[in-house]
Chains A and B, each alone.
Chain A
């Protein structure tokens, strides 16, 4: 779970460097995609986005635009210095690369061969599945002390109540709400119950204050 190969798209639409910008843009529209890897003899040599293609010519509405699009070649507008991911890279690494470089996708390459492509929307999908947002559940935020056993303790309260945990995500440490206590971490649980009243009481009692949903 959570590797690039689990979330990437394997059916890839590619271009060759000598195709025109017009053809490439038509492909983007037709297949509803924004990024096209460019291959030469099976080797990845560049990547082009719909934005690169559109901004390569005069503005939309200009009569000269259609002609221009037929004259510009993919190799003229593609980005040649391609950052790629490996299928076994953790997805957070791919996400961080895209974030740092402000790019919307990474081709996935294994043994010099293009095997997939991962985009920001694939990362979004992974996030939705990771936090269980596609399954019914109640979302709860709980503060736990930054100490060994805290997460197990909070999770155990759900277990004691017979409530299944659909997902759990723990964040970085922060200043404790009460000075003098250890630093704390926020855990976001998604739990399979419609009725959280009882478990909220037990969690508060056990020293794991429930921050969300907020109390009236």
Chain B
């Protein structure tokens, strides 16, 4: 890795090879979303002083810090079409959610390598903040692919950092619309890894878990924080829930590093979920993660992507906003003409001309006061039941 290429206090870890992680056809998890986001950053001039840092793939040893070797071997065989469907299904592979594709192990290991490299650069003090937008595959389980996720990048990175920096305390903050179940279960008994997930309630959405009562096991009780939100939750309510829980939880814990998963599938346009956020949320959250990183852990913050399935209108803008926060750059108001003209014809939907949504762009959902009130009750439960056990 070329250390001299790193300028400023932020870095973006990416390589074209990371865009091989995708399931092909009309599968919703399409790596084009990463391309669109990066090209939008570039068109806005936000990458000018920030050359991409290319990561190596995660090794089998990295992966087996959280995954079983039999699972890793199965993914390797799957990418070379060396296994039967029946064997694959035991590992969550070969399903409509997680179809197999050529060299899938290599593509997935690259994504993990990207997040791992981002974390190592921050921990080595080479940069304050790092972003790896292909990361955020938070559903992957120990021996099972789940919800478009094959290997758990955050899980591997956290486990590796724990080995490399004994005693390190890491907080993982997940604002994807889906519960960050895979990462939560990997560190469910670990009081040195605090996982915080805000997501649409499992009553309505995959993976169905992430209730307030899931707060950790044994020594880890209190170190899993879940905030299940009502369907149709809007920016206002989401942000006030975030503010009521996240800063206080992080201050009580005192992390050495913040790792944030920035899925943007809680946007009102997202086809897979039922939340009603706009770019306002996706501007607020990274800004606050940034401020909290400086307040609590000398700025050490790694941001990943995550879900986000309106790949044309939402993902490129949300992750450009994220990069602007990571790299302390001013966010322009307009989506640049050349990006619009490059992609406008290929997009099946009309592309938004402005970087920020206007509230009146979207139809009103069900009465938001009622939803906000229910979310408030959830927050009170979190504050009463979970917060007191964090030390």
> A residues bordering B, Cβ < 8 Å?
133, 136-139, 161-164, 190, 192-198, 212-214, 216
Contacts and interface: CB of A to CB of B under 8 A. Distances in A.
Given A133-B208, A136-B146, A194 B272 contact: yes
> Interface SS of chain A: helix, strand, loop or mixed?
loop
Contact of B96 (A136, A161, A214): A161
A213 B208 contact: no
Interface residues of B, number: 27
Contacts of B244: none
A194 B95 contact: no
B203 interface: yes
Contacts of B95: 162-164, 192-193
Contacts of A139: 202-204, 208
Contacts of A133: 208-209
Contact of B205 (A138, A164, A190, A197): A138
B96 A163 contact: yes
B207 A136 contact: yes
Contacts of B332: none
A194 B208 contact: no
A26 B271 CA distance: 55
Given A136-B146, A136-B147, A162-B96, A213 B231 contact: yes
Interface string B182-222: 00000000000000000000111111110000000000000
Residue from A198, A213, A214 with most neighbouring chain B CB atoms (10 Å): A213
14 contacts: A136-B139, A136-B147, A137-B208, A138-B206, A139-B208, A192-B95, A193-B206, A194-B148, A195-B96, A195-B272, A196-B206, A214-B231, A216-B232, A216-B274
B89 interface: yes
Contacts of B178: 194
Given A136-B181, A196-B206, 15 more contacts: A133-B208, A136-B147, A136-B207, A163-B96, A164-B95, A192-B92, A194-B97, A195-B28, A195-B96, A197-B272, A212-B204, A213-B205, A213-B274, A214-B204, A216-B232
Contacts of A137: 206-208
